Each structure stands twice: as structure tokens, then as C-alpha cells.
């Protein structure tokens, strides 16, 4: 069987609804706080980053807080990403390639808010988008209205080129944030304030998990015409 081809892998993902696809060399990604063994990272040096969209009509139902419709959609997008990751790992395995799918949404260290790896950090390195003021990945065509999955593999593809930040003068996410956690720079994002607001939303039973979605709704991306 021929070796896996990057264009073929991307085509498979696009057929499954992916709106963004990129690859990154882990050597170019800061991995010191990834919760994966170093030997795994060295054995699987390429990261494939895939984005599926969050539905605009679901986001439009959010009015100052999350709701159960958004929570269900959020879970379904994560499930679709995990299924895509599983199927892609199986596809690569049939071509004698090692691969590991990282769950789309699974925190391992709740206190430190850390997962196995940072999907958005990999996506930035892959050239899918940039880190916005909302501390989320922002893509040119879909803004922050995407969710991500990462597949690590023993492939040797040319890595993507990181994009320049493209938020411009847009500060819609600052206005939308109910916790006032968003600042001018993503480096100044107030993680604690954000998390406390998520806890409050859960306490009031607006959602059964720690989600919000308001800054996601506020960020359709530069291609929407918003500046």
C-alpha cells in the first residue's frame, strides 16, 4: 500500500466536514507542559490539526449565558472530532503508520487547566489561525467558531506556516465576555475569572459542564466583514 499522502488525508477530513486542516512539526511547538510522555512525542513527530465548525444558528440562541441547546451541540461537535480522529488513526494504521488521536475536549489537570496537549497551540503552529484576544484559536474564515482535534503521527510532511494575528481593531469578544476576563493581549487573559464564571453558570444550571460560548459567538472571523 502506498505511503499516506497529505492531500489525501486532508481530502478525507474535508469530506467529513472539516473547515480547516494543517500540519505542524512538534519540534516547532512548545511542548514542555504537554501531559504526554516525552517518548510518545518523539515517536510521533508530526501533529495534524483539524477543525470542525460550531453552528452559527446554535450560537445565535445564546443570550448572556450558555444554554442546553449549545451544550448539546458542543458535545456533538466534540464527539464528531473524536470519531474523525479515531477513523483517521485507523486509516493510517492500515497503511503501517503509527498515530495517536488526542481527545477534542478532555482536561487532565483541572487546577492547572491543562490537557494532554494544547490543540490551539498546535493549530497556530500548523497555520490554521492565530491566538485571538479571547485566548482562543481564531481562523480567517470561521473566527473562533470552531473546535479542534489533534492527531500525532509518524509522518514527514512539510509543516504549515503560522499566520500573522488578524483580529485587527475588532474587540467584540471583550464586550461579550460576562467575566471581563478578556484583555487586549491573549497573554493577559484572566483564566481564573473565566473559570469562576463557568462555575457560576453551572451552579445556576444553565449548563451541566463548564462552558460559555459568548466570546465564540462574538467572533465570526475577518472574512465575515467584521473589523
pLDDT tens-digit profile of 73-124? 999 999 999 999 999 999 999 999 999 999 999 878 766 667 899 999 999 9
64 in a structural domain: yes
Cα 70 from Cα 94, distance rounded (Å): 36
Cα 14 from Cα 20, distance rounded (Å): 8
Domain count, the chain: 1
Which residues of the chain are modeled with pLDDT < 70? 110-113, 225-227
What is the structure's pLDDT at 42?
94
Cα 15 to Cα 18, 142, 157, 158, 224, distances in angstroms: 7, 18, 21, 22, 23
Cα 58 from Cα 35, distance rounded (Å): 32
What is the structure's pLDDT at 226?
60
1 in a structural domain: no
* Cell representation of residue 58: 446554535
For 79, the domain range is: 6-224
Amino acid at each position: 500500500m502506498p505511503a499516506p499522502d497529505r492531500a489525501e488525508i486532508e481530502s478525507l477530513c474535508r469530506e467529513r466536514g472539516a473547515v480547516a486542516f494543517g500540519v505542524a512539526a512538534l519540534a516547532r511547538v512548545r511542548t514542555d507542559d504537554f501531559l504526554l510522555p516525552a517518548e510518545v512525542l518523539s515517536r510521533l513527530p508530526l501533529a495534524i490539526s483539524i477543525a470542525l465548525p460550531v453552528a452559527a444558528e446554535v450560537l445565535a440562541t445564546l443570550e448572556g449565558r450558555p444554554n442546553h441547546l449549545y451544550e448539546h451541540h458542543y458535545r456533538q461537535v466534540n464527539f464528531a472530532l473524536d470519531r474523525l480522529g479515531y477513523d483517521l488513526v485507523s486509516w493510517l494504521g492500515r497503511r503501517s503508520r503509527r498515530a495517536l488521536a488526542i481527545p477534542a475536549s478532555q482536561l487532565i489537570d483541572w487546577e492547572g487547566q491543562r490537557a494532554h496537549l494544547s490543540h490551539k497551540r498546535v493549530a497556530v503552529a500548523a497555520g490554521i489561525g492565530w491566538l485571538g484576544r479571547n485566548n482562543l484559536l481564531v481562523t480567517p474564515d470561521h473566527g473562533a467558531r470552531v473546535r479542534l482535534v489533534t492527531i500525532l503521527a509518524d509522518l514527514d510532511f512539510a509543516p504549515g506556516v503560522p499566520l500573522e494575528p488578524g483580529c485587527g481593531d475588532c474587540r467584540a469578544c471583550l464586550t461579550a465576555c460576562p467575566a471581563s476576563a478578556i484583555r487586549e493581549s491573549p497573554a493577559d487573559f484572566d483564566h481564573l475569572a473565566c473559570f469562576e464564571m463557568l462555575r457560576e453558570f453551572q451552579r445556576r444550571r444553565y449548563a451541566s459542564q463548564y462552558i460559555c460560548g459568548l466570546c465564540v459567538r462574538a467572533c465570526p472571523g475577518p472574512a465575515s466583514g467584521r473589523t
